Amino acid sequence: MQTRHQSPTDPAFVQNPYPFYAQARAAGDFIWWADYEMACAVSHKMVHAVLRDRRLGRECPPELAPDIPAHLKPFYAVEAHSMLELEPPRHTRLRALVLRAFTSRTIAALAPDIRALCHQLIDSFPAQPFDFLTHYAQPVPVVIISRLLGVPEDRADDLVRWSNAMVAMYQARRTPQIEADAIAATNDFVAFMRGYIATRRKTPTDDLISTLIAAEQDGARLSEDELITTCILLLNAGHEATVHTLGNGLKTLLEHGITTINESVVEEVIRYDPPLHMFTRWVYEDVTLGEQSFKRGDQIACLLASANRDSQAYPDADIFDPVRKGPQNTSFGGGIHFCVGAPLARLELQIALEVLFERCPDLRLTKTPTYGDVYHFHGLERLMVSTSR
Structural domains counted in the chain: 1
pLDDT of residue 220: 75
To 10 degrees, what angle do helices 342-359 and 139-149 make? 130
Residues 95-116, buried b or exposed e (16+ Cβ, 10 A)?
bebbeebbeeeebeebeeebee
Predicted pLDDT at 293: 97
pLDDT score, position 386: 97
Q: From the centroid of its chain, how far is CA 385? A: 24
Per-residue pLDDT for the chain (389 aa), expressed as one digit of tens each?
A: 999 999 999 999 999 999 999 999 999 999 999 999 999 999 999 999 999 999 999 999 999 988 999 999 999 999 999 999 999 999 999 998 888 777 888 899 999 999 999 999 999 999 999 999 999 999 999 999 988 888 888 888 898 899 999 999 998 889 999 999 999 999 999 999 999 999 999 999 988 889 888 886 667 788 899 999 998 998 888 788 999 999 999 999 999 999 999 999 999 999 999 999 999 999 999 999 999 999 999 999 999 999 999 999 999 999 999 999 999 999 999 999 999 999 999 999 999 999 999 999 999 999 999 999 999 999 999 999 999 86
Contact 135, 124 (CB under 8 A): yes
CATH assignment at residue 54: 1.10.630.10
Q: What is the pLDDT of residue 217?
A: 64
> Is the Cα dihedral 28, 284, 227, 212 positive or negative?
positive
The sign of the torsion formed by the CA atoms of 58, 64, 68, 74 equals: positive
Give residue 358's domain range: 2-386
Residue 357 CA: distances (Å) to CA of 259, 348, 362, 387: 6, 14, 8, 10
Cis peptide before 62 (omega within 30 of 0): no
Which of left, alpha, beta for 87 (phi over 0: left; psi -120 to 50: alpha)?
Answer: beta
